[in-house]
Amino acid sequence: MHVLLSPSVIRTPVANLLLRVLPVRNTINMARPVAHSINFNSKHLRKGDPLPPFNGKLRVYNMRYCPYAQRTLLALIAKNIDFEVVNINLIDKPEWLTQKSPLGKVPALEISDGECLIESLITAEYVDEAYPQRPLLPKDPVQKAKDKGLIERTGAIHTFLIKILRSPETITTDVVNGYYNTLALLESELTMRGTLFLGGVQPGFIDYMIWPWLERIPSVVEIDTRIAIDNKRYPKLNEYIKRMENDSVVKQYIIPLDVYRKFFNNYVKGVYEYEYLNIKE
């Protein structure tokens, strides 16, 4: 169950209930890209490293290559919110991580000292509702429900990608077909909606929640060619991916393809190097 965590209370995660206890934040100057001043590539903290003191800003406990945490970060970047990133070594976790995220996972979004939200979709939706500038979710409740449903239906992409990296021996025909069916679903949705992005004329919640997995696919093709998105079978999806790559929000957090390849090629060998973006060649 998704929950809101604080030292003394557990609350339900429904966004409108959250907003009864958590105030709507003030908007800021959308012309100035705050993300340029945020260090996304800070060292990943590990066991023995101290917990950085809370500085009053929103804080994301993150792992630079984690697609789930990326969802939260894209929502924050889209809102042009000033926030802090604390990167976590998920293999050698700091002792204090479970104070922020009981299961020791990322993302966790610290909204005040000691009060954290967990789970990627919950944190991203909180950001959208607490910060009214540039709404990401549709106002229409039917369309909002449809978009959330489509996000859930893309799970086969996550499954195939994770199995390629962690347990390729468990990849069955059903797993592969489920992946292709999901690509076909996205192709169909793009055709039916007839918009540049699934969210409309610019990327919305649905785009930023699906994008992290699409971003990683090209870097994994060398490991398993079946994950490639064929241009002839999925032309609209490939065009959409190119548009997303050029989105100003995505570009502020995207990882270069060669860095992804290094990370994933070592990941499948059981080597977890988090600091490629900090290594000077």
Report pLDDT for 280.
Answer: 59
Using DSSP's 3-state secondary structure scheme, residue 115 falls into strand
Residue 36 CB neighbours (<10 A): 7
Which stretches in the chain have pLDDT values below 50? 1-21, 23-24, 26-30, 281
Phi, psi angle pair for 27, to nearest 5°: -75, 165
Report pLDDT for 32.
Answer: 63
Tokens describing residue 259: 């860095």
Among 66, 73, 186, 229, the active-site one is 66
- Single-letter amino acid, residue 77: I
Phi, psi angle pair for 56, to nearest 5°: 95, -15
Report pLDDT for 33.
Answer: 74
| Alpha helix positions (H), the chain | 15-21, 67-79, 97-100, 120-130, 141-153, 155-166, 173-193, 205-220, 235-245, 248-251, 257-267
* Domain annotation for the chain: domains and CATH numbers: 58-130 (3.40.30.10), 141-268 (1.20.1050.10)
Report pLDDT for 45.
Answer: 99
Cα separation, 100 vs 117, in Å, equals 8
Report pLDDT for 29.
Answer: 43
Tell me: cis bond preceding 132? Omega within 30 of 0 counts.
no
Tokens describing residue 193: 């909606």
* Look-up of token digits 């919110």: 81
What is the strand order of the sheet 83-87 is part of? Answer: 10-11, 4-5, 115-118, 108-112, 58-62, 83-87
The DSSP call for residue 196 is: S
28 CB-contact burial (10 Å; exposed 0-12 / middle 13-18 / buried 19+) = middle
Catalytic-residue membership of 116: no
For 180-204, what is each residue's pLDDT tens digit?
Answer: 999 999 999 999 999 999 999 999 9
Phi, psi angle pair for 100, to nearest 5°: -100, -30
